[in-house]
């Protein structure tokens, strides 16, 4: 008998493809005939070499990266990158632009300022509680990079189109929408993404960095904080989080070989988002919190008429095997995170529940 599985709408750590979990379960005690678990094999072994090399190759294929890009698997999560990026690329003569679209952008800005780096917040949507993505931004000529957060899990907004930053490379926190849709990677000097939202379990952060930015790297940094350290050692300067990297590799394999790539994944994600947003737009009971042209396809944030109804909604949804619908503690309300591994069937069940709840309580 298969174990009970709920519909998982958690914002992170979030849902993983069931077939991936089953493959992990099947091979957990004896990985590839090694007689050891993946959590036991040496990171210097042939078994883990195959895992990390395949993961790197799949990232490059899926994102269509050219030879200028290095693919790294680092520790410290995306939050470490808030500091590591300005430490590596900004010195006393360089400056960077930041766009503030919510909590994670705010944290990145805070870390850069804490380090005493010269940065400009060239646009912000704080004036309306981060309900939209800024437009018509004037970037600083000669900026070393422009930092954005591609998708905002807490406020439910997402860049539909990335900004034209001229000669300044984009640096993006893509933790919550990496591998959800195709995009032109050549615009980006660096992409980083914590795994626990859309590509694996917590414990590893994917960093894709272009060679021209690597050449700007500061020389007086601790060894572990230099990107070049990890690029030279294929992310194995020290012991990597082997299990997390292994799971990411399996998720990438699922994305390529089962889903069929980013174009097909994007179509599925569009269908899921449309199902919920169409309900929000036709309901007088539920209210979306993000502007329509800035809505996230990954994190749908909404409110009910009262906080008491929101508590009832979350409790009844949980009792109906729909987990993770409570909004972030900083904003309240409700949130459905519909990452790649949360399928159309789950979203259809949620929409049916929402309609029924509205009929009984509206």
The CA distance from 137 to 62, in Å, is: 30
Tokens of 361: 């309580």
> Of residues 97, 104, 155, 254, which has the active-site annotation?
104
| Neighbouring residues of 136: CB distance < 8 A, sequence distance ≥ 6 | none
Single out the catalytic residue among 97, 117, 159, 173: 173
The C-alpha atoms of residue 244 and residue 205 are separated, in whole angstroms, by: 9
Evaluate whether 145 touches 163 at the Cβ level (below 8 Å): no
Q: Is 197 a catalytic residue?
A: yes
Measure Cα distances from 180 to 75, 133, 274 in Å. Answer: 22, 19, 15
Paired with 1 in beta bridges are none
What is the C-alpha to C-alpha distance for residues 96 and 102, in angstroms, rounded to an integer? 18
The answer to whether residue 60 is catalytic is no
State the catalytic residue, choosing from 117, 155, 197, 272.
197
Tokens of 166: 């001229």
Q: Distance (Å, rounded) from C-alpha 205 to C-alpha 218?
A: 21
Helix and strand totals (H; E) in the chain = 10, 14
* CA 118 and chain centroid, separation: 27
212 is catalytic: no
Q: Which residues are catalytic?
A: 104, 173, 197
């Amino acid at each position: 008998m298969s174990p009970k599985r709920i519909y998982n709408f958690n914002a992170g750590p979030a849902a993983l493809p069931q077939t991936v979990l089953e493959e992990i379960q099947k091979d957990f005690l004896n990985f590839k005939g090694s007689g050891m678990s993946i959590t036991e094999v040496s990171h210097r072994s042939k078994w883990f070499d195959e895992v990390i090399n395949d993961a790197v190759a799949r990232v490059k294929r899926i994102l269509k990266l050219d030879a200028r890009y290095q693919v790294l698997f680092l520790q410290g999560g995306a939050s470490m990158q808030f500091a590591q990026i300005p430490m590596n690329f900004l010195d006393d003569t360089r400056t960077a632009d930041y766009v503030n679209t919510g909590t994670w952008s705010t944290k990145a800005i805070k870390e850069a300022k804490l380090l005493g780096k010269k940065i400009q917040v060239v646009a912000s949507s704080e004036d309306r509680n981060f309900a939209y993505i800024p437009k018509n931004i004037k970037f600083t000529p000669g900026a070393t990079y422009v930092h954005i957060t591609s998708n905002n899990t807490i406020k439910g907004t997402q860049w539909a189109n990335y900004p034209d930053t001229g000669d300044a490379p984009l640096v993006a926190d893509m933790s919550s929408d990496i591998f959800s849709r195709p995009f032109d990677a050549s615009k980006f000097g660096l992409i980083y993404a914590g795994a626990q939202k859309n590509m694996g379990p917590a414990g590893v952060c994917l960093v894709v960095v272009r060679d021209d930015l690597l050449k700007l790297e500061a020389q007086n940094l601790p060894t572990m904080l230099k990107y070049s350290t990890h690029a030279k050692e294929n992310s194995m300067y020290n012991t990597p989080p082997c299990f997390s990297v292994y799971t990411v590799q399996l998720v990438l394999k699922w994305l390529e070989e089962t889903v069929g790539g980013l174009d097909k994944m994007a179509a599925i994600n569009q269908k899921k988002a449309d199902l919920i947003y169409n309900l929000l737009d036709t309901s007088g009971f539920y209210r979306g919190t993000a502007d329509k042209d800035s809505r996230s396809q990954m994190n749908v944030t909404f409110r009910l008429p009262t906080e008491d109804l929101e508590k009832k909604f979350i409790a009844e949804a949980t009792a109906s095997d729909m987990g993770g619908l409570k909004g972030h503690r900083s904003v309240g309300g409700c949130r459905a995170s519909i990452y790649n591994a949360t399928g159309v069937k789950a979203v259809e069940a949620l929409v049916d529940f929402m309609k029924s709840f509205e009929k009984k309580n509206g």
